[in-house]
Chains A and B, each alone.
Chain A
Amino acid sequence: MSENLDLTPEAAVRAVMQDILGLDAEQVAAFTSETELFGALPELDSMAVAGLLTELEDRLDIMIEDDEVDGELFETFGNLVAFAEMKAAE
């Protein structure tokens, strides 16, 4: 009952961004790899980032270490998806 449904890393990142920012699916579907995140979206503060990382860990069954997280990771949607794909493939 609590088993995870199969979710691609990109779909997981989109779903979490949708929840954190309170957007609808169409708005998040419009995010491209160049979409700017941290600094461009006021809702994405450091507390929201803490929630985002933890939620990605849960949804993708990965562990993210403190030293893997830097500012560059949250610059664009593409960076975040690439990171999630890299972690999921480990």
Chain B
Amino acid sequence: MSAALEYARYPSKGHDELCLRVGVQHAKTILLVPPLFDEMNRMRRMLVDVMRLLDARDIGTALPDLPGTNESLFPQEQVSLVLWREALAHCLQTLPECRHVASFRGGCLIDNISDDSRQWRFAPAKGSMLLRRMMRTRIASDKEAGLSTDMAKLTAEAQQGQVNLAGNSIGSAMFSELQDAEPAPPDDIRTAQLKNSAQRGDVALPGSALWLRAEPDDDLLLSQAIANDLLSWMSS
């Protein structure tokens, strides 16, 4: 797995955002919609392994930085799910050969970006779960600092402008979107779940829930299972 990684750019709201590319020369490309917030960090290595494995099978991939994440200069407190969806649509326009979108965890909340692309999902997450986990992390760190916070206080703070949750500046629009966001109904979408998951999907893949780990990690078994399922889905 020695495929070269390249950085491409795509325009969004007057900013140039980065997009990691592997296998630019291939005829087919999959747009990967990353998990959101800290889950993205925990799963990035696993996703890049998927990109390298697909390159070896002549499939190109693109993994965009969402505005306000990674190297992006876009103000984080101004991002929203709507803005991320628009950014992904702009990114897709820079990939004329791309007809396949694969989204991961919270990425499934922002993946309905094109009517002419086929969709694949891995372990879709509800917005409310991502939000509750971030609020709990903030409450725990406040507690260690001798402060008392609860979810009601954080919700009120968010409504007044923005709230810092687990290192993320969450603006009021993003906060209220996450409270209700669920992956759009899976019409014609292939959904993959982990074998030990409580959720039923179209296919159960081996591997571990890296998004729950204390530290980022790789999982080659999972990367291989995802790459194989994407290949069979694309040829079906």
Contact = CB atoms under 8 A, between A and B. Distances in A.
Interface in A21-52: 22, 25, 43-52
Nearest to B166: A47
B15 to A, nearest CB: 30
B132 interface: yes
Interface stretch (B4-12, B46-54, B111-119, B135-143): B135-143
Interface stretch (B67-75, B80-88, B91-99, B191-199): B191-199
Q: Which 7 A-B pairs have the closest CB atoms?
A: A50-B136, A46-B140, A19-B209, A54-B133, A50-B137, A59-B198, A19-B212
Interface stretch (B58-66, B172-180, B200-208): B200-208
B200 A1 contact: yes
B140 A15 contact: no
Interface of A: 1-5, 7, 12, 15-16, 18-20, 22, 25, 43-55, 57-59, 66-67
A1 B186 contact: yes
Interface in B16-39: none
B90 interface: no
Interface string B123-146: 010100100111011011101100
Contacts of A3: 199-200
A4 B199 contact: yes
A86 B208 CA distance: 27
A31 to B, nearest CB: 15
A15 to B, nearest CB: 5
B217 interface: yes
B141 A54 contact: no
A59 B163 CA distance: 27
B198 A48 contact: no
B77 to A, nearest CB: 21
A66 B139 contact: yes
A47 B215 CA distance: 10
B132 A54 contact: yes
A19 B222 CA distance: 13
B124 to A, nearest CB: 7
A45 to B, nearest CB: 6
B133 to A, nearest CB: 4
Contacts of B147: none
A62 to B, nearest CB: 12
Contact of B140 (A19, A25, A47, A57): A47
B41 to A, nearest CB: 12
B151 interface: yes
A2 B124 contact: yes
Contact of B214 (A25, A47, A57): A47
A47 B137 contact: yes
